[in-house]
Protein backbone atom coordinates (compact mmCIF):
# COMPACT_ATOMS: atom_id res chain seq x y z
CA UNK A 1 0.00 0.00 0.00
CA UNK A 2 1.39 3.36 -0.90
CA UNK A 3 1.06 6.14 1.60
CA UNK A 4 -0.49 9.24 0.08
CA UNK A 5 1.48 12.29 1.05
CA UNK A 6 -0.07 15.21 2.82
CA UNK A 7 0.76 17.52 -0.04
CA UNK A 8 -1.28 15.45 -2.46
CA UNK A 9 -4.62 15.98 -0.72
CA UNK A 10 -6.91 18.95 -0.82
CA UNK A 11 -9.04 18.55 2.26
CA UNK A 12 -7.93 19.21 5.81
CA UNK A 13 -9.19 17.67 9.02
CA UNK A 14 -8.83 18.23 12.73
CA UNK A 15 -6.87 15.72 14.72
CA UNK A 16 -10.01 14.33 16.32
CA UNK A 17 -11.71 13.86 12.94
CA UNK A 18 -8.64 12.12 11.62
CA UNK A 19 -8.52 9.74 14.57
CA UNK A 20 -12.21 8.93 14.34
CA UNK A 21 -11.89 8.29 10.61
CA UNK A 22 -9.22 5.70 11.21
CA UNK A 23 -11.23 4.02 13.95
CA UNK A 24 -14.38 3.95 11.79
CA UNK A 25 -12.46 2.53 8.86
CA UNK A 26 -11.03 -0.28 11.00
CA UNK A 27 -14.44 -0.99 12.56
CA UNK A 28 -15.97 -1.31 9.11
CA UNK A 29 -13.21 -3.59 7.95
CA UNK A 30 -13.15 -5.84 10.98
CA UNK A 31 -16.12 -6.91 13.13
CA UNK A 32 -13.73 -7.68 15.96
CA UNK A 33 -12.84 -4.05 16.51
CA UNK A 34 -14.93 -2.27 19.12
CA UNK A 35 -14.62 0.85 21.27
CA UNK A 36 -15.41 1.23 24.95
CA UNK A 37 -15.01 3.96 27.50
CA UNK A 38 -16.79 6.57 29.56
CA UNK A 39 -18.99 8.95 27.55
CA UNK A 40 -17.81 7.56 24.23
CA UNK A 41 -21.30 6.73 22.92
CA UNK A 42 -23.87 9.55 23.13
CA UNK A 43 -21.33 12.19 24.06
CA UNK A 44 -18.90 11.17 21.36
CA UNK A 45 -15.99 11.36 23.76
CA UNK A 46 -15.34 14.33 26.02
CA UNK A 47 -12.49 15.28 23.69
CA UNK A 48 -14.33 14.33 20.49
CA UNK A 49 -12.41 11.09 20.17
CA UNK A 50 -15.48 9.08 19.09
CA UNK A 51 -17.76 11.62 17.42
CA UNK A 52 -20.36 9.90 15.24
CA UNK A 53 -19.28 6.33 15.93
CA UNK A 54 -22.41 5.44 17.91
CA UNK A 55 -24.64 6.42 14.98
CA UNK A 56 -22.82 4.18 12.59
CA UNK A 57 -21.98 1.21 14.77
CA UNK A 58 -24.55 1.11 17.57
CA UNK A 59 -24.19 0.41 21.25
CA UNK A 60 -22.78 -3.10 20.89
CA UNK A 61 -19.65 -1.78 19.28
CA UNK A 62 -19.43 1.68 20.84
CA UNK A 63 -19.95 1.01 24.50
CA UNK A 64 -20.40 3.40 27.36
CA UNK A 65 -19.05 1.68 30.44
CA UNK A 66 -19.41 2.28 34.18
CA UNK A 67 -16.82 4.42 35.90
CA UNK A 68 -14.87 1.26 36.61
CA UNK A 69 -11.52 1.61 34.89
CA UNK A 70 -10.11 -1.54 36.41
CA UNK A 71 -13.04 -3.56 35.09
CA UNK A 72 -13.27 -2.22 31.56
CA UNK A 73 -9.56 -1.80 30.84
CA UNK A 74 -9.05 -5.31 32.18
CA UNK A 75 -11.97 -6.47 30.05
CA UNK A 76 -10.20 -5.03 27.02
CA UNK A 77 -7.14 -7.09 27.93
CA UNK A 78 -9.30 -10.20 28.17
CA UNK A 79 -11.11 -9.53 24.92
CA UNK A 80 -7.80 -8.88 23.19
CA UNK A 81 -6.38 -12.15 24.51
CA UNK A 82 -9.52 -13.80 23.14
CA UNK A 83 -8.54 -12.45 19.73
CA UNK A 84 -10.72 -9.36 19.46
CA UNK A 85 -9.32 -5.89 18.83
CA UNK A 86 -10.72 -3.61 21.50
CA UNK A 87 -10.02 0.07 21.76
CA UNK A 88 -10.52 1.25 25.33
CA UNK A 89 -10.45 4.88 26.29
CA UNK A 90 -9.16 6.20 29.58
CA UNK A 91 -10.75 9.65 29.66
CA UNK A 92 -7.73 11.47 31.11
CA UNK A 93 -4.36 9.78 31.46
CA UNK A 94 -4.28 11.10 35.03
CA UNK A 95 -6.88 8.48 35.97
CA UNK A 96 -4.50 5.60 35.17
CA UNK A 97 -3.84 5.13 38.87
CA UNK A 98 -7.19 3.52 39.60
CA UNK A 99 -6.51 0.85 36.98
CA UNK A 100 -2.76 0.62 36.86
CA UNK A 101 -2.67 -3.07 37.58
CA UNK A 102 -4.71 -3.90 34.51
CA UNK A 103 -2.53 -1.62 32.41
CA UNK A 104 0.86 -2.42 33.77
CA UNK A 105 0.65 -5.94 35.13
CA UNK A 106 -1.83 -7.44 32.65
CA UNK A 107 -2.01 -5.51 29.39
CA UNK A 108 1.71 -4.86 29.24
CA UNK A 109 3.07 -8.14 30.61
CA UNK A 110 0.84 -10.99 29.53
CA UNK A 111 2.55 -11.48 26.20
CA UNK A 112 5.92 -11.79 27.89
CA UNK A 113 4.85 -13.80 30.89
CA UNK A 114 3.01 -16.27 28.71
CA UNK A 115 6.20 -16.79 26.76
CA UNK A 116 4.46 -15.38 23.73
CA UNK A 117 1.47 -17.72 23.85
CA UNK A 118 -0.92 -14.81 24.21
CA UNK A 119 -0.92 -11.53 22.39
CA UNK A 120 -2.84 -8.47 23.51
CA UNK A 121 -3.89 -6.54 20.39
CA UNK A 122 -5.66 -3.65 22.08
CA UNK A 123 -5.39 0.10 21.91
CA UNK A 124 -5.59 2.22 25.05
CA UNK A 125 -6.51 5.75 23.99
CA UNK A 126 -6.13 8.55 26.47
CA UNK A 127 -6.15 12.34 26.63
CA UNK A 128 -3.08 14.11 27.94
CA UNK A 129 -1.91 17.62 28.61
CA UNK A 130 -2.48 20.86 30.42
CA UNK A 131 -2.55 24.51 29.33
CA UNK A 132 -6.09 25.24 30.50
CA UNK A 133 -5.72 25.27 34.29
CA UNK A 134 -7.33 22.01 35.29
CA UNK A 135 -4.80 21.36 38.07
CA UNK A 136 -2.70 18.40 39.07
CA UNK A 137 -5.17 15.53 38.65
CA UNK A 138 -6.24 16.50 35.12
CA UNK A 139 -3.25 18.05 33.35
CA UNK A 140 -0.44 15.55 33.17
CA UNK A 141 1.10 14.01 30.09
CA UNK A 142 2.85 11.05 31.79
CA UNK A 143 4.64 10.12 28.56
CA UNK A 144 7.60 8.92 30.57
CA UNK A 145 5.58 6.65 32.85
CA UNK A 146 4.04 4.73 29.98
CA UNK A 147 7.19 4.60 27.88
CA UNK A 148 9.18 3.46 30.90
CA UNK A 149 7.07 0.40 31.56
CA UNK A 150 8.04 -2.42 29.21
CA UNK A 151 5.51 -4.17 27.02
CA UNK A 152 3.41 -1.39 25.51
CA UNK A 153 3.95 0.66 22.41
CA UNK A 154 3.43 4.35 23.03
CA UNK A 155 2.19 6.77 20.39
CA UNK A 156 1.86 10.56 20.63
CA UNK A 157 0.66 12.24 17.42
CA UNK A 158 1.01 15.98 16.84
CA UNK A 159 -0.92 16.45 13.57
CA UNK A 160 -4.10 15.14 11.98
CA UNK A 161 -2.13 13.39 9.25
CA UNK A 162 0.02 11.55 11.77
CA UNK A 163 -2.94 10.88 14.05
CA UNK A 164 -4.79 8.98 11.35
CA UNK A 165 -1.86 6.95 10.10
CA UNK A 166 -0.72 6.08 13.58
CA UNK A 167 -4.25 5.05 14.60
CA UNK A 168 -4.55 2.66 11.66
CA UNK A 169 -1.26 1.17 12.69
CA UNK A 170 -2.22 1.01 16.35
CA UNK A 171 -5.41 -0.95 15.70
CA UNK A 172 -3.69 -3.35 13.31
CA UNK A 173 -0.77 -3.94 15.64
CA UNK A 174 -0.77 -7.23 17.53
CA UNK A 175 0.55 -5.61 20.69
CA UNK A 176 -0.98 -3.24 23.22
CA UNK A 177 -0.60 0.33 22.04
CA UNK A 178 -1.08 3.36 24.26
CA UNK A 179 -2.32 6.16 22.03
CA UNK A 180 -1.92 9.47 23.85
CA UNK A 181 -3.65 12.45 22.26
CA UNK A 182 -3.09 15.97 23.50
CA UNK A 183 -6.37 17.75 24.28
CA UNK A 184 -5.03 21.04 22.97
CA UNK A 185 -4.43 19.54 19.51
CA UNK A 186 -7.80 17.89 18.94
CA UNK A 187 -9.66 20.86 17.50
CA UNK A 188 -12.45 20.70 20.09
CA UNK A 189 -14.89 23.61 19.98
CA UNK A 190 -14.27 24.69 23.56
CA UNK A 191 -10.51 24.31 23.54
CA UNK A 192 -9.00 26.17 20.61
CA UNK A 193 -6.08 24.39 18.97
CA UNK A 194 -3.10 26.10 17.40
CA UNK A 195 -3.12 26.10 13.57
CA UNK A 196 -0.54 23.38 13.15
CA UNK A 197 -2.38 20.15 13.98
CA UNK A 198 -5.10 20.69 11.37
CA UNK A 199 -3.48 19.29 8.25
CA UNK A 200 -4.42 17.73 4.94
CA UNK A 201 -5.59 14.17 5.53
CA UNK A 202 -6.20 11.58 2.79
CA UNK A 203 -9.62 9.94 2.75
CA UNK A 204 -8.17 6.48 2.24
CA UNK A 205 -6.46 4.46 4.91
CA UNK A 206 -2.71 4.56 5.36
CA UNK A 207 -0.35 3.60 8.12
CA UNK A 208 2.53 5.43 9.69
CA UNK A 209 4.96 2.91 11.05
CA UNK A 210 5.94 3.07 14.70
CA UNK A 211 9.48 4.10 15.47
CA UNK A 212 9.85 6.64 12.68
CA UNK A 213 10.34 10.16 13.90
CA UNK A 214 9.41 12.97 11.54
CA UNK A 215 11.57 15.98 10.87
CA UNK A 216 8.90 18.66 10.97
CA UNK A 217 11.38 21.42 10.16
CA UNK A 218 14.81 21.15 8.63
CA UNK A 219 17.61 23.20 10.14
CA UNK A 220 21.37 23.27 10.44
CA UNK A 221 22.17 24.90 13.76
CA UNK A 222 20.33 23.17 16.58
CA UNK A 223 18.26 20.00 16.91
CA UNK A 224 15.04 20.38 18.88
CA UNK A 225 13.48 17.04 19.80
CA UNK A 226 9.94 16.93 21.10
CA UNK A 227 6.43 15.51 20.64
CA UNK A 228 2.72 16.28 20.95
CA UNK A 229 1.71 19.87 21.61
CA UNK A 230 5.30 20.92 21.96
CA UNK A 231 6.06 20.18 18.33
CA UNK A 232 3.97 23.25 17.56
CA UNK A 233 5.56 25.32 20.30
CA UNK A 234 8.99 24.30 19.02
CA UNK A 235 8.00 25.24 15.45
CA UNK A 236 6.84 28.64 16.73
CA UNK A 237 10.13 29.05 18.51
CA UNK A 238 11.98 28.07 15.36
CA UNK A 239 10.23 30.84 13.44
CA UNK A 240 11.31 33.39 16.04
CA UNK A 241 14.83 32.02 15.98
CA UNK A 242 14.97 32.12 12.20
CA UNK A 243 14.48 35.88 12.43
CA UNK A 244 17.47 35.93 14.74
CA UNK A 245 19.55 33.94 12.29
CA UNK A 246 19.38 30.60 14.10
CA UNK A 247 18.23 27.66 11.99
CA UNK A 248 16.57 25.06 14.21
CA UNK A 249 15.68 21.55 13.13
CA UNK A 250 12.50 20.27 14.82
CA UNK A 251 12.09 16.54 15.26
CA UNK A 252 8.72 15.08 16.20
CA UNK A 253 9.28 11.68 17.80
CA UNK A 254 5.69 10.53 17.09
CA UNK A 255 6.25 7.29 18.98
CA UNK A 256 8.06 6.88 22.29
CA UNK A 257 8.17 3.14 22.09
CA UNK A 258 9.67 2.23 19.75
CA UNK A 259 11.90 5.30 19.84
CA UNK A 260 13.68 6.50 16.72
CA UNK A 261 17.10 7.23 18.17
CA UNK A 262 18.69 7.14 14.72
CA UNK A 263 16.91 10.19 13.36
CA UNK A 264 17.83 12.16 16.47
CA UNK A 265 21.43 11.07 16.30
CA UNK A 266 21.72 11.87 12.63
CA UNK A 267 20.40 15.35 13.23
CA UNK A 268 22.70 16.00 16.19
CA UNK A 269 25.65 14.85 14.10
CA UNK A 270 24.67 17.60 11.69
CA UNK A 271 23.92 20.39 14.20
CA UNK A 272 26.02 19.45 17.22
CA UNK A 273 23.49 21.00 19.54
CA UNK A 274 20.54 19.34 21.17
CA UNK A 275 17.50 20.72 22.94
CA UNK A 276 14.86 18.28 24.20
CA UNK A 277 11.43 19.63 25.02
CA UNK A 278 8.84 17.69 26.99
CA UNK A 279 5.53 18.48 28.71
CA UNK A 280 6.22 15.68 31.18
CA UNK A 281 8.14 15.86 34.45
CA UNK A 282 11.85 16.38 33.96
CA UNK A 283 13.44 13.77 36.19
CA UNK A 284 13.65 10.19 34.94
CA UNK A 285 11.84 11.12 31.75
CA UNK A 286 12.07 11.62 28.02
CA UNK A 287 14.61 14.41 28.13
CA UNK A 288 17.13 12.29 29.99
CA UNK A 289 16.45 9.33 27.73
CA UNK A 290 17.08 11.23 24.52
CA UNK A 291 20.19 12.95 25.77
CA UNK A 292 21.71 9.79 27.17
CA UNK A 293 20.92 7.90 23.96
CA UNK A 294 22.84 10.45 21.94
CA UNK A 295 25.66 10.61 24.45
CA UNK A 296 26.00 6.85 24.52
CA UNK A 297 26.02 6.54 20.78
CA UNK A 298 28.26 9.43 19.92
CA UNK A 299 29.47 11.65 22.73
CA UNK A 300 31.67 13.59 20.36
CA UNK A 301 28.71 14.68 18.29
CA UNK A 302 27.37 16.66 21.23
CA UNK A 303 28.62 20.16 21.68
CA UNK A 304 25.87 21.41 23.94
CA UNK A 305 22.59 20.19 25.36
CA UNK A 306 19.66 21.70 27.16
CA UNK A 307 16.38 20.28 28.32
CA UNK A 308 13.08 22.01 28.76
CA UNK A 309 10.48 20.10 30.74
CA UNK A 310 8.09 20.42 33.63
CA UNK A 311 10.20 20.83 36.76
CA UNK A 312 9.38 18.10 39.25
CA UNK A 313 6.21 19.65 40.61
CA UNK A 314 2.59 18.58 40.18
CA UNK A 315 0.86 20.86 37.65
CA UNK A 316 -0.45 23.87 39.60
CA UNK A 317 -3.94 25.26 39.03
CA UNK A 318 -3.44 29.00 38.92
CA UNK A 319 -2.47 30.46 35.56
CA UNK A 320 0.82 32.23 36.38
CA UNK A 321 2.13 29.05 37.99
CA UNK A 322 0.88 26.72 35.27
CA UNK A 323 2.44 28.98 32.65
CA UNK A 324 5.69 28.86 34.56
CA UNK A 325 5.96 25.08 34.66
CA UNK A 326 4.63 24.07 31.23
CA UNK A 327 7.20 25.01 28.60
CA UNK A 328 6.11 27.72 26.19
CA UNK A 329 7.55 28.68 22.80
CA UNK A 330 9.65 31.35 24.47
CA UNK A 331 11.16 28.81 26.88
CA UNK A 332 12.11 26.66 23.90
CA UNK A 333 13.63 29.63 22.07
CA UNK A 334 15.57 30.57 25.20
CA UNK A 335 16.97 27.06 25.50
CA UNK A 336 18.01 27.08 21.86
CA UNK A 337 19.77 30.41 22.33
CA UNK A 338 21.53 29.09 25.39
CA UNK A 339 23.11 26.18 23.53
CA UNK A 340 24.61 28.67 21.11
CA UNK A 341 24.93 28.37 17.40
Ligand X SMILES: Cc1ncc(C[n+]2csc(CCOP(=O)(O)OP(=O)(O)O)c2C)c(N)n1
Q: Which residues bind ligand X (CB under 6 A)?
A: 38, 67, 69, 91, 95, 98
Rounded to an integer, what distance in angstroms lies between the CA atom of residue 318 and that of residue 133?
A: 6
Name which of another protein, ligand X, none residue 206 binds, using a CB cut-off of 5 to 8 Å depending on partner kind.
none
> Site map for another protein, 173-192, x if CB under 8 A?
----------------xxxx
3-state secondary structure of 255: strand
**Binding residue for another protein, selected from 307, 329, 332, 333, defined by CB under 8 A:** 307
103 and 124 in contact (C-beta within 8 Å)?
A: yes
Residue 60 interacts with another protein (CB under 8 A): yes or no: no
Question: What's the N-to-C CA distance of the chain in angstroms?
Answer: 42
Residue nearest ligand X (C-beta atom): 95
Closer to another protein by Cβ: residue 233 or 307: 307
Closest CA to 214 of 183, 249, 176, 179: 249
**Binding residue for another protein, selected from 76, 193, 301, 329, defined by CB under 8 A:** 301
- Is 138 known to be catalytic? yes
What backbone torsions phi and psi does residue 53 show, to the nearest 5 degrees? Answer: -65, -35
Rounded to an integer, what distance in angstroms lies between the CA atom of residue 275 and that of residue 306?
A: 5
Rounded to an integer, what distance in angstroms lies between the CA atom of residue 277 and that of residue 287?
A: 7
Name which of ligand X, another protein, none residue 335 binds, using a CB cut-off of 5 to 8 Å depending on partner kind.
another protein
Name which of ligand X, another protein, none residue 313 binds, using a CB cut-off of 5 to 8 Å depending on partner kind.
another protein
Minimum CB distance to another protein, residue 68 (Å): 5
3-state secondary structure of 92: strand
Residue 232 interacts with another protein (CB under 8 A): yes or no: no
Size of the site for another protein (CB under 8 A): 59
Minimum CB distance to ligand X, residue 91 (Å): 5
3-state secondary structure of 278: strand
Amino acid sequence: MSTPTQEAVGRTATMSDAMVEAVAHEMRADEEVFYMGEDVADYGGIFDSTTGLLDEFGRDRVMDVPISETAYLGAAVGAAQAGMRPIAELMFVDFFGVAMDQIYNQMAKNTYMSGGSFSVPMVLTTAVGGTYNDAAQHSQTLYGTFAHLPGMKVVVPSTAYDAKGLMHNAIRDDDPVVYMFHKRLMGIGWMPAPDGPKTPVPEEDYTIPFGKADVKRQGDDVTVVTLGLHVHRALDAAETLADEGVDAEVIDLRTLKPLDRETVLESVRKTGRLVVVDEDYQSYGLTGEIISSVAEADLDALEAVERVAVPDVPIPYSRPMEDAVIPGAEDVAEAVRSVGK
